[in-house]
Amino acid sequence: MNSKILNELCSHCAFILNDAEKERMVADLKLILEYVDQVHSVSTDGIEPLVHPINIGYLRMLDEPETSGHENLTQSESIEKTDDFYVVPKVIEP
């Protein structure tokens, strides 16, 4: 963990840190990694990853439209809308 990796992580997370925060965060993350790195010390050969803790009912939905769920979409004042469109600063297409 170093400041270069941290910068990449920040860009993936879409937030920024000031220099003091960065310094602190690098130290914290180092500590965390030191702790969790112990997982690599255990052999897990032949073991399937467990993603879902429980076997459940394999729910699927019927292909029938439902009209509720559109109403009451109250926005805070900081969210900008025009003519039912959400508005954001111009996205420059590459």
Partner 1 sequence: MDPYQSLKQLRQLLESKQITAEELCRYFLDRIAQFDQKTNSFVSIEPENVLAEARRADKTIDQGINGQLTGIPVAHKDNFCVQGQQTSCCSKLLSTFIAPYDATIVKNISVEGGIYFGKTNMDEFAMGTSNQTSAWGPVRNPWDLSRVPGGSSGGSAAAVAAGFVPVATGSDTGGSIRQPASFCGVTGFKPTYGRLSRYGMIAFASSLDQAGTLTRTAQDASTMFQIMQGHDPRDATSESSRSNKRVSVKHPLTIGYSASLLNDLDSDIIARIEASRETLERLGNKFEDVEVFDQDLALSSYYIISCAEASSNLARFDGIRYGTRTKSPSSIQELYENTRSQGFGDEVKRRLLAGTYFLSNNSPENYVQKAQKLRRMVYELYQELFQKVDVVLAPSAPSTAFRLDEQLDSTDMYRQDRFTVPVNLCGLPAISIPCGLVNGLPIGMQFIGPQYGDELILDVAYRFQNETSWHLQRPRL
Partner 2 sequence: MSNMDSNWEAVIGLEVHVQLNTRTKLFSRTRNGDVSAAPNQHANLVDLAYPGTLPVLNQAALTHAIRFGAAIDGSLARVCSFERKHYFYPDLPKGYQISQYSQPIVGSGVFSLWFEDGHTKAVRIRRAHLEEDAGKSIHDRLPDSTVLDFNRAGTPLLEIVTEPDLRTPSEAAMFLRQLHALVIWLGLGSGNLYEGAIRCDANVSLRSQGNNSFGTACELKNLNSFKFLKNALRYEIERQDNVLSSGASVRRETRSYDPMSGTTKSIRKKEQQREYRYFPDPDLPPIPISETTISEIKTSMPELPANVRDRFVRNFNLTPDKAYRLTLEKPLAELFEATVKSCKDPQATANWILGEVIATRKRKQYRAHDIPISARQLSQLIERVKGGTLSFNAAKELVGRLWGTNQDLDQIIKTHDITQISDSDQISHWATRVVEENKELISKLLNGEEKLYEYFIGQVMKLSHGKANPQLVRQALERLVSKKDKHNSSENDD
Q: Is 20 in the site for partner 1 (CB under 8 A)?
A: no
Q: Which does 20 bind (CB under 5 to 8 A by kind): partner 2, partner 1, none?
A: none
* Neighbouring C-beta atoms of residue 23, cutoff 10 Å: 13
Q: In the numeric block, which tokens belong to residue 75? A: 């926005």
Nearer to partner 1 by Cβ, of 39 and 63: the residue is 39
Instruction: Tell me which DSSP letter residue 58 carries.
Output: -
Q: Which residue(s) pair with 81 in the sheet?
A: 86
Interface residues for partner 1 in 33-52 (CB under 8 A)? Answer: 33, 35-40, 42, 44, 47-52
4 three-state secondary structure: helix
Q: Of the candidates 19, 37, 48, 64, which one interacts with partner 2 according to CB under 8 A? A: 64
Number of residues interacting with partner 1: please give it, by CB under 8 A.
56
Q: In the numeric block, which tokens belong to residue 79? A: 């969210």
Q: Is 63 in the site for partner 2 (CB under 8 A)?
A: yes
Distance CA 32, CA 6 (A): 14
Q: Is 65 in the site for partner 2 (CB under 8 A)?
A: yes
